[in-house]
Amino acid sequence: MKKIIVATCNKDKIKEIREILAGDGIEYLSLEDAGLRGINIIENGSTFEENAIIKAKTVSEATGLMVLADDSGLEVDYLKGAPGIYSARYMGEDTPYTIKNNYIIEQLKDAEGDERSARFVCAIACVFPGGRVITTEGKVEGLIAYEEKGEYGFGYDPVFYLPEKGCTTAQLKPEEKNLLSHRGRALRAMHKKLTEERIL
């Protein structure tokens, strides 16, 4: 079975990636799975795409292998795009997401209707030995909910409300969420590109 390293130690993220790309006969390994947990990645890009490329390049240069990386986050228009590329580090990396989520809800206490607009953005980078880079991006538009709801998903999912579904992404079962999520869209676009080039 072909193995591809994904430049993440986030167990929820690697689980979601495996679910989205299930059935393609490839084993996706996290940095921990590949014994690379201690690798130093400095995410100093100014966009999701730049950070995804930095992650993938750092790991590819260290291993000499093809590497996939994801950088994703929540953009809240009322907060001028925050937390954006700092989504994972917002209010501190070790701060529980329920605290982050409720802080965002509190910041939007005077916002109504479309003023609560937000989106999830995901950039995927694939870096090959030698430095060649392919990128894709996926987005999903929604609103910030008035309270946390849902038992599925992770991160900001409990406060990201999808008007067309009438619920948050944390209220969607994983298979339904993966069909419309930002990560699902970006990963499927990447998988299509790699398949067309006969890399997969």
Which active-site residues does the annotation give?
A: 71
Burial 166-184 (b: 16+ CB within 10 A, else e): ebbbbbbeeeebbeebbbb
Task: For strands 26-29 and 2-6, give the pairing.
Answer: parallel
Classified as helix, coil or strand, 169 is helix
